[in-house]
Amino acid sequence: ADRDIAPIETTKTKFLIRLEVQDKSGVLAAIAQVFAAQGVSIQTVDQNGRGADAELIIVTHLATEGELKATVDALKKMDIVSNISSVIRVEGAIS
């Protein structure tokens, strides 16, 4: 039987994003605002300082590929973001 396959842009899943940012006050709030503006809710954030920079590992709640792509595109334009090293789909529970 033929079945329609949903476009990946509309499929909801969780994502893990690893990025390097400036380690100064207000950065986490600015990053969170970008996610919120695209309708992507953050489930967890892990921050590790590295001198003048910090690594953020963010796991989202369910979001579409399109929403996440718009979020990543907006993050890339921010002066406080020096690198986005990973964007990975996540299946299953994240504790």
Q: What are the residue boundaries of the structural domains of the chain, listed by start?
A: 8-90
Label residue 11 by pLDDT band (50, 70, 90): confident
CATH match of 8-90 with 1.10.260.40:
no
d(CA 19, CA 32): 13
At 94 the pLDDT is 64
Q: What is the pLDDT of residues 29-88, one digit of tens each?
A: 999 999 999 999 999 999 998 789 999 999 999 999 999 999 999 999 999 999 999 999
Is pLDDT at 9 greater than 90 in this prediction?
Answer: no
> What are the C-alpha distances in Å from 67 to residues 17, 36, 37, 61, 64?
13, 10, 10, 12, 5
- pLDDT for 95 equals 57
